[in-house]
Amino acid sequence: MSSKKKQAEIREEKDWEKIDSAVHKSENFIEKYQKQILIGIGIVVVVISGYLAFRNFYLGPKNAEAQVALFKGEQYYRNGQDSLAIYGDANGYVGFESIISDYGSTNAGNLAKLYAGICYANLGQYDKALDYLKGFSGGDKVLSQLVNGTIGDCLSNTGKENDAVSYYVKAAKGVDNPVQSPILYKKAGLIYRNQGNYDKVVETFTTVKNQYMNSPVAMEADKYIEEANLMKAGGAK
């Protein structure tokens, strides 16, 4: 046997010894920490199983129950019967308050927060409205931005116009459609007008003219722009 072949066999034998040693170490590690490993795997399984069970056997049925409870409230909401929508009718419908309390973790319970917030705003109870509106978490972009607009209304009606205007502008940009956006921009523009911030008045109504030229607000925008420019000129004298 040649010297090179013998050296190769020796190297191969040593490699197998290393592999064998590593396998034994791995087996010893598993034997030594088997209990901890099994506990760790068990915890992961329990967590995953628990989540799936919670979603399928608790949240699923709970959401279905909440949707049934919500249906009558939506009817009252659409009819402008805000108090009945919030508190219930003593005739089987429990009201948005109870739906939020009993089903707050469900999608329907989350939607009840939005309805309750708007109803409270309609009733002039702006602090309660803000609590529910800010607690609403919506995945729909347009709906979430319209909630911001309603928050702006509540803040404006409680004298917090600096906060309100930022919600109006954010909502107008987020919705970005020719129906709601001009109205939201107008609300912001009128706050700027009341504050004497005429540069912002011009900027806001110019945005409406340029981006939503066919809207009713765009058709009256020049009036506010001209007035703001006159007030600026008058203040500069």
Quickly list DSSP for 114-183: HHHHHHHHHTT-HHHHHHHHHH---S-HHHHHHHHHHHHHHHHHTT-HHHHHHHHHHHHHHH-STTHHHH
Q: pLDDT by residue (tens digit) across 192-217?
A: 999 999 999 999 999 999 999 999 99
Helix (H), strand (E) at residue 87: helix 82-87
Residue 12: both structure tokens together: 């191969």
Integer Cα distance of 75 and 112 in angstroms: 13
CA distances from 58 to 50, 52, 55, 65, 103 (A): 10, 9, 6, 11, 11
Q: What is the pLDDT of residues 58-91, one digit of tens each?
A: 445 566 776 777 888 888 988 999 999 999 998 8
Mean pLDDT of the chain: 79
The whole-number pLDDT of residue 58 equals: 45
Rounded to two decimals, the pTM is: 0.70
- What gap in Å lies between CA 68 and CA 189, rounded to an integer? 41
Residue 13, pLDDT score: 52
Looking at per-residue pLDDT, the higher value among 93 and 26 belongs to 93
- Residue 155 and residue 66: Cα distance in Å, rounded? 30
Which pLDDT value is given to residue 38?
A: 47
